[in-house]
Amino acid sequence: MAKEVPKEKRFGLEVTKKKEMDPRWLEWGEVGRAEIVGYEIGTAEEGANIDKLQKKKFMEIWRPFDFIYHHSYGMVSPFFEGLLDKKLMGTRCPKCGDRFMPPRANCWRPSCKLQETEWVELPLRGTLHTFSIMYFAGTPFLRLLPAVIGYVRVEGCNMAMVIFVKEVDPTKLQCDMPVEIKFIDEPKGDPTDIYVVPAKGWKPVEDRFSWDEEGEARVVRNLKSTKEHWDKIYGKDRPMMAEVPE
C-alpha cells in the first residue's frame, strides 16, 4: 500500500500520498542512451513459407533503451486511486442517472450537455458481454499466455470494460454469463489490478452458443500449443491467465 508522505510540491501537484519510484530507474536512464553495447552475427532461418525456410546470415545488436512514462490520470484519477483501496469507482450522471464503467468525467448524452458526473462505488459484479482467447499479445503480456480478455458490463452500467478473465476453462465461457470482479493482492493503480472470474454457482447454460465439437477441439489444441511455446521461453512456473484443459 502507498504510504503517507509530508505535503510537497512536484510538477505543480500538491502531493498528499505517494509510492516512491524504484531508484534503479535513474541508473538505467543513465545507461539507456540507445548506444550499441553489444552484437552477435550468426545464421537463422528465413522465408515466406514455413515449410521452405533457408539459413541466412544476420546481425543482431543490443541497444539499451528504456523510459518512464510520467503522466496524469486527469479527471478519472478517483478510479485509479480506488483500485489501490480495492474499490471499484465509477461515475454517474446526476441528470439522467446513467452509470459509467469505465468512468466518464462527463455524461455522454447530448441532452445532458456534458454534465459533469459524480463518483459512486460500484458492485463487484457484472456480466461477460463478449470475450476473446489470446494466443499472442504485446510484450508485457507474453508471459501470461494463453489468456482470455473479456468485455464486462459492470452491474448497473451501460458500457463494457476490457478485463482479463481467469479461473475458468476458456472452452466453457459463454456470452452474458455472470462474473465476479476481483483484485490482485497488491494493486498498483493500473487497469490490470482487476480481473473477473465466473460468479459463484455459475454453470454453463445449455442451448446457448458454444463451440461445436470441432471448434472446441481446435481451441484446446491452440491453448496447449500456446502454453507449450511460452513455457519454453518463460519457463513452466509462470502466472498463466487461462486454464489449459489437460
Residues in contact with Zn ion by CB under 5 A are: 93, 95-96, 107, 109, 112
Q: Which is nearer to Zn ion, 95 or 153 (CB)?
A: 95
Closer Cβ to Zn ion, 109 or 236, answer by number: 109
C-alpha span between 125 and 217 (Å, rounded):
31
Q: In what order do the strands lie in the sheet with 89-92?
A: 99-100, 89-92, 118-121
Minimum CB separation of residue 133 from Zn ion in Å reads: 36
Question: DSSP of 4-41, one letter per residue?
Answer: EEEEEEETTEEEEEE-PPPTHHHHHHHH-S----EEEE
Nearer to Zn ion, 112 or 184 (CB): 112
* Nearer to Zn ion (CB atom), residue 61 or residue 96: 96
The vertex-22 CA angle with 21 and 25, nearest 5°, equals 105
φ, ψ of residue 183 in degrees (nearest 5): -110, 150
Closest CA to 102 of 151, 44, 38: 151
In the bound complex, what is the minimum distance in angstroms from residue 107's beta carbon to Zn ion? 3
Name the minimum Å distance from CB 157 to Zn ion: 13
- Smallest separation (angstroms) from Zn ion to the CB of 108: 7
What's the min distance (Å) between Cβ of 82 and Zn ion?
21
Residue 94 or 245: which CB sits closer to Zn ion? 94
Sign for the pseudo-dihedral over CA of 77, 82, 85, 86 = negative
